[in-house]
Amino acid sequence: MFRLVKPEERQAVIAFLKKESDLNLFFIADIEFYGWDKDFLQVWRDDTKELHSVVLRYNNNLLVYSDDCSFDRSEIFTMIRKYAIHHLSGGRKFYDYIKPLLAGKNYHTSTCISAKMKRLTHFSVAGKPRKATADDARKIAESITTIGEFSSYKDVPLEQTIATIHKSIADGFGIYYVIEEEGKVVASAATIALCSVSAMIGGVFALPAYRNKGYATSVTGLLCQELLSKGITPVLFFENPLAASIYHRLGFVDFGEWIFMDVHQH
């Protein structure tokens, strides 16, 4: 049975999640950045003497991590209904454990490879990449929303995307590197989650007319270089084989899988 984490248990929960800190980056980043028990964020643990499972809700997203998958699987679906969860995610072990209860449900599932970098390999810098400021938010948003792979932006008003990117950079949660040409951002890479030990890389793109120039490699490489200099491990998820080849050349090494499930009942 899951219960809300008590104040005196917080450090123990963080220590538990850090046993696989790269895999649990989203958990740790949300907790460190936002704190606990917000209206949009809650953290539960299994109600047993030894801590084995943690569940985190961030708005309509539910993340699950367990080192032994001994919890009652039906409780996850109770939470999905209670909090109107749209997206459920977790590692391969969690997915394999909960998979039998997914039978007959029309849930879209996608599997991403998890990769991390301990050392950046040599790469050539192309174009004129630079670190972005909050003032670049509009140009970044205007470009990223045209990329077909980032379909999640289609249903979000442009001004909202601009505001989100601006706040992320201003707060220090989002570190962006960009290449700007002809008055527009033609390539970018960013941190989409950041904690004391790891950072999730995302939003990597080069506009179609500027591909095959090494621009995406340049902005990603410089971003990773900054993170590593601060003792932070760059982590990313990918599905695209072409992206995989770029990341592996930079020094990323695969270490697991993360499964995303769309559980929104339309």
pLDDT at 33: 82
The count of domains in the chain is: 2
The CA-atom distances, in angstroms, between 41 and each of 14, 51, 58 are: 15, 20, 5
Q: Evaluate whether residue 256 is within a structural domain.
A: no
Of 200, 249, 246, whose CA–CA distance to 22 is shortest?
Answer: 200
Q: Is 114 within the bounds of a domain?
A: no
CA 183 to chain centre: 29
Q: The pTM is what?
A: 0.84
141 and 85 in one domain?
no
Annotate 178-215 with three-state secondary structure.
Answer: EEEECCEEEEEEEEEEECCCEEEEEEEEECHHHCCCCH
Do both 28 and 83 map to the same domain?
yes
> What CATH number did the domain enclosing 160 receive?
3.40.630.30
Residue 25 falls inside a structural domain: yes
pLDDT tens, N- to C-terminus, the chain (266 residues): 999 999 899 899 999 999 998 889 989 988 888 887 788 999 999 998 899 999 999 999 999 999 999 999 999 999 999 999 999 999 999 999 999 988 878 788 999 999 999 999 988 899 999 999 999 999 999 999 998 887 777 778 999 999 999 999 998 889 999 999 999 999 999 999 888 889 999 999 999 999 999 999 999 999 999 999 999 999 999 887 777 888 999 999 999 899 999 987 64
Q: Which two tokens stand for residue 167?
A: 């706040």
Co-location of 127 and 15 in the same domain: no
Which residue is it, tokens 């909090």? 83
Would you state the pLDDT for residue 12?
93
Q: Indicate whether 105 and 124 sit together in one domain.
A: no
Q: In angstroms, how far is the first alpha carbon of the chain from the final one?
A: 28
Residue 259 lies in a domain: no
Q: What residue type is assigned to position 62 of the chain? A: L
Give me the domain span that covers residue 141. 120-250
